[in-house]
Structure 1
């Protein structure tokens, strides 16, 4: 199994991947699209909570998107391996543009009802089941292996910078000119991303790994059913001890983190802190700012710790921070805590994605990355449902139970030498 540490030969100038035309187009298009998404990600929870005044309903809407996304993500990984990730992203972004434009019209004419939000959430979840694996696997098709760390740092750095400024702008926009404007901006951003994808020439699968032993898929492998393709991906990960352990740990931790954070901070903005949508946008931006800092830290760390130690350490910090959110009385302290959680997430995301990409041959990359995303998003339906129920009882109970369980899980895992020794 390959080392997870970043060697000196990987320390190319951070800007170097931007000289690759297709990567530059991807970087620009996805950055604009992601900025639009930040407006959407503030608008949808806020619209739901305004219509229902219920954390349970908010959790249910988020779950409506998460269930099809989780079910289809493994299938999306197989499709991404069989066809061009760029083509899959092109189709997905086009559909998202159409759906978001339709939602904008409904909100504009005040025709939104809660059942429609469920329908839109399900539709977006279906599309994301295919677009997320494609987006995670396209970068190695555009740059060579030595450029992977710099490419992922650029991509994640831009992501976290946008997550820093986008939600605050979205909250301010919603509070001043109306929620329909936020949806309209997201629709326009998808159109821009489609244009940049059309300008790309397409990825080069053979450039991902410079290994002559890796051959193009045979006619027999191309004829395998999609279910067989999923089974191949599962079998590959199961027989790779490092990949197996990392994905299982991420799955366990995310069950008690994704939902409590998303449902919890929206409920905090409504019930504990003044400011409403602006408070929600501020906390989401605090997450983005922390994640940006964590991402940039990977660019200066020459010898990161072992993957097992890194994963358990950062997850323990996140569990303790989540616990504290249940008792923090004001928006300033809550934002600082959320920023620390985001820093841990941003730091691990870059190193984790690069680590997985370097463990995996090109013909398996879509499926393995889809399993990585499934470890996070696949557990989301249960996490959102649990968070909605606990938040409806009491926010202190939500954060205390979720954060406490994460700390306990990490303590138990830290006692296992095989997990700590993952390189």
Structure 2
């Protein structure tokens, strides 16, 4: 009788536990993502304080994520995920209790943000490394597509659910601490639930590898990526893409909505269109990824070239529906490709190194996102928003063309199963 690991994906108990628990936890995350900023603003009304809280949550992820990947490889992704979930639940329950006892303070909000950021730096790489050990390797594309699609769905539905909790305050001008405490408590319970589901998962045993010092293990992961020329080329290319794309979407898009489309409602429409397109692309990738796997490198560059053209067009829009249409297509292409990228890395890298490889991949985006946002903000003082989108799109297109002409990326096919 086949084990859970060897059964088809949709009948695979491991995948059902991972998907169900992960979806509940990701929905819960949105409660804290909304409640923490509101807590800071309720206490101070100061945008600088809010920025510090966001930085305290984000900085540990960028700084510690590679170490988190090393720990996941050494002690197993499942064990690290469990500890991360328990730590997050404990942090949120303590925060909930202190808010209910009327002990809210800015220092408490800062401490919670920092602690949550540290815990996630270990949980995120473990979460991306566990899938190849839990599902059939031939089903990785579909599993990644469904799992990432569930995350995108949580980003769309979670804030609406959280708003219902935070908005249930009978017309008060400020969100009361009881509502904020309820939001944090809900997130804590979802972490505990997902930890229980994770305990039901059985993983494929890995070959025992020699254990070195923690920093030697981290260096070994970096050396592995450096020696693998296709992997190294793609990581360098993705760093360029992250810098050119993330800043315009994070900073310039709100400016575009404000200057040309006259309001926050238009920004919501643009972001919703991009999110919906991303979800559709991820689900499509889970259903039909074989063609893309055979032509991974060429498809990667082609999609980025098209996205570059779409960004240039975005700088010329005059109505919200034009922007929504362009961003829906951009999201669909990006979502389709994201699933393929995760699957390619998971298939190419040995399981014993996967936590570090995925941590480095995500660290590229976590580290470059604030730099890209800062550069975009500075450029918007000198350029119009239309010029910035045109310039960013043109640079992305140029990067894709240069990679096609001068690197081996176009010749990369789907990686062999390890």
TM-score (norm 2): 0.79
Given that 2:86 and 2:195 are in contact with CA atoms closer than 8 Å, whether structure 1 keeps it comes out as no
- From 347, 351, 355, the equivalent of 2:336 is 347
| Alignment partner, residue 248 of structure 1 | 236
Distance 1:90 1:152 in 2: 20
Q: Deviations over 1:250-306 (max 9, x none)?
A: 111102222331233445566665563x65554433222111211122213542252
Which residue is equivalent to 1:10? none
Q: Which residues of 2 match residues 268-307 of structure 1 at below 5 A?
A: 273=261, 276=264, 280-298=267-285, 299-304=287-292, 306-307=295-296
3-state SS, counterpart of residue 360 of structure 2: helix
Pick aligned residue for 1:96 from 88, 93, 100 = 88
1:136 CA drift (Å):
0.3
CA gap 1:106/1:411 in 2 versus in 1, 3 angstroms: farther
Q: Which has the larger radius of gyration?
A: 2
- CA contact 2:35–2:184 (8 Å) conserved in 1: no
Task: Report the Cα offset of residue 60 of structure 1.
Answer: 6.8
Query: Match for residue 356 of structure 1?
Result: 345
Equivalence for 2:4? none
SS of the equivalent of 1:257 reads: helix
CA distance in 1 between partners of 2:309 and 2:110 (Å): 33
Structure 2 distance, partners of 1:371, 1:49, is 33
- Mean Cα deviation higher: 395-404 or 77-86: 395-404
RMSD (CA atoms):
3.7
8 Å CA contact 2:92–2:187 kept in 1: the answer is no
Cα 1:322–1:341 change in 2 (3 A) is: same
Structure 2 distance, partners of 1:340, 1:191, is: 36
TM-score normalised by structure 1 residue count: 0.78
Rate the CA distance shift 1:96–1:399 in 2: closer, same or farther, 3 A: farther
CA distance in 1, matches of 2:396, 2:376: 14
The answer to whether 1:28 aligns with 2:20 is yes
Alpha-carbon contact 1:69-1:377 (below 8 Å) kept: yes
State the partner residue of 1:17.
9
Q: Which moved more, 1:60-69 or 1:349-358?
A: 60-69
Displacement of 1:155 in angstroms is 0.8
Distance 1:17 1:32 in 2: 20
Give the deviation of 1:21 after TM superposition: 2.8
- Report which structure shows greater RCO (CA 8 Å, sep ≥6): 1
Q: 1:284 to 1:172 in 2, by over 3 A?
A: farther
Match for residue 422 of structure 1 among 407, 412, 417: 412
Q: Report deviation, 1:173.
A: 7.3
Question: 1:36·1:187 contact (CA, 8 Å) conserved in 2?
Answer: no
Residues 175 and 282 (structure 1), Cα distance of their counterparts in 2 relative to 1, 3 Å cut: farther
C-alpha separation in 2, matches of 1:111 and 1:63: 20
- The secondary structure found in structure 2 opposite 1:206 is coil
Q: Is the 8 A contact 1:32 1:189 kept in 2?
A: no
Matches within 5 A, 1:119-268: 121-167=113-159, 184-185=182-183, 187-199=185-197, 200-206=199-205, 215-217=207-209, 221-222=210-211, 224-267=212-255
Residues 76 and 62 of structure 1: is their aligned pair in 2 closer, same or farther, counting only changes over 3 Å?
same
Q: Please report how far the alpha carbon of residue 233 of structure 1 lies from its aligned counterpart in structure 2 after TM superposition.
A: 0.8
